[in-house]
Structure 1
Amino acid sequence: MEDKEQEDYSKQYSEDSFWYKLFKFAKKAGVKVSYAALLLYYVLKKPNTPKWVKTSILGSLGYFIFPFDAVPDIIPLMGYGDDLGILAIALATAAVYIDEDVKRKAREKLGAFFKEYNEDELKEIDDKTKTK
């Protein structure tokens, strides 16, 4: 995502809009997208996260919230694929700041949306956020 687009999408972000989107669409978005969004949300809340990382997170979460994106979210099986791609870019940027506390908080909140889910789906996201 280019800097200008990131800035535009970051204007779409608000904490209320984020929670509204998750509460309303978590099941449609799926475990991976929801977990990725929650990881980014909790990194965004950390006081030691640098501004440039927060800017990347705000852009990707703004894209997630924005109702008119590249692939409309209402398209079955594909609608949230572009969202996951954008979230994955921000996850790579924020990986250094995703610690066990962030993962714990994200998993706890994920339980509010999904009573049961396959841990392997989370492992796939966690593996992408490991720093070398």
Structure 2
Amino acid sequence: MDLQDPELRKPGRIARNARLVRRRFFPKLRRFAGRIPFADELLAAYFCAFDPATPSRVKAILLGALAYFIMPADLIPDIIAGLGFTDDLTVLSAAFGMVRGHVTPEHRQRAADYLSGIATEGAEGAQPDTQP
């Protein structure tokens, strides 16, 4: 996935990625939360991407990375133990490198709060009530 691709910044692509991420992000995160060592970064990226104060270029990059995470077919299938999320981590790390200054302490705190809810209530019981 090329995060520099101008196609990612087109309004239609941003809207499609936003719809896809809103619909599929939390179910996948809850299903795999215990096996994703970078779940906090994923959530911080989600909250940044849907923050009205985030510039559209940053939203486009983050939504592209999050859409890659939730796609059922990617470079390394997520069900492969130990390797499945390495490609997702690579894409997310590249995205974070490009937009680092826009992910705020508030985004990170919302991510931590959500993850503590999953740990307390279990993956099935956690409600995405902290969604924007």
Q: TM-score scaled to structure 1, two decimals?
A: 0.75
**Matching residue of 2:68:** 63
Any idea what SS the aligned residue of 1:31 has?
Answer: coil
Q: Which consecutive residues of structure 1, in runs of 5 or more, have no partner in the other structure?
A: 116-132
Tell me if structure 1 keeps the 8 A contact 2:76–2:85. yes
| Aligned equivalent of 2:21, options 14, 25, 28 | 14
Residues 6/74 of structure 1: CA separation in 2 closer, same or farther (3 Å cut): farther
How many percent of aligned residue pairs carry the same amino acid? 31
* 4+ runs deviating over 6 angstroms: none
| Aligned equivalent of 2:99, options 94, 98, 121 | 94
Correspondence 1:25 to 2:32? yes
Counterpart residue type for residue 51 of structure 1 = S
Aligned-CA RMSD value:
2.1
Q: Which consecutive residues of structure 2, in runs of 5 or more, have no partner in the other structure?
A: 121-132
**Matching residue of 2:84:** 79
Counterpart residue type for residue 23 of structure 1 = R
Counterpart residue type for residue 71 of structure 1 = I
Q: TM-score scaled to structure 2, two decimals?
A: 0.75
